[in-house]
């Protein structure tokens, strides 16, 4: 129950902020397309999560920690990659607002 509460709270905090950023930063001609891209990203994330969870079976209980660590490290790696590119991303966003 706590996991569902935390996931739902996280989604409720992220979704309005992300949608607001998309509408504010996208050029007026592409706002609808960028909103569609936002929702497509959420759908792909759910699909990938479902595919990963679908591989869990009763016989694979011993492998679950390895799979969770794989998800953790891939997510952390992507986060580090984004952190490395934060200055170029900020420059691109800054040039859009001018």
Per-residue burial over 58-69, b = 16 or more CB atoms within 10 Å of its CB, e = otherwise:
eeeeeeeeeeee
Q: What is the pLDDT of residue 72?
A: 87
pLDDT by residue (tens digit) across 16-69? 999 999 999 888 999 999 999 999 999 998 898 888 878 777 777 787 888 788
Domain of 72, in residue numbers: 61-98
Choice among 37-41, 85-89, 91-95 with the minimum mean pLDDT = 91-95
Residues in the chain: 98
Among 39, 54, 69, which residue terminates a domain?
54
Q: Are residues 4 and 48 in the same domain?
A: yes
Q: What is the pLDDT of residue 95?
A: 66
Q: What is the pLDDT of residue 91?
A: 85
């Amino acid at each position: 129950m706590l996991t569902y509460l935390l996931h739902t709270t996280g989604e409720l905090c992220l979704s309005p902020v992300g949608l607001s950023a998309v509408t504010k930063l996208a050029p007026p001609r592409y706002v609808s397309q960028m909103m569609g891209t936002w929702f497509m990203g959420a759908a792909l994330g759910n699909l990938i999560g479902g595919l990963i969870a679908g591989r869990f079976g009763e016989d694979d209980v011993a492998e679950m920690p390895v799979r969770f660590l794989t998800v953790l490290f891939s997510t952390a790696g992507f986060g580090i990659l984004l952190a490395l590119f934060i200055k170029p991303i900020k420059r691109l966003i800054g040039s859009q607002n001018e």
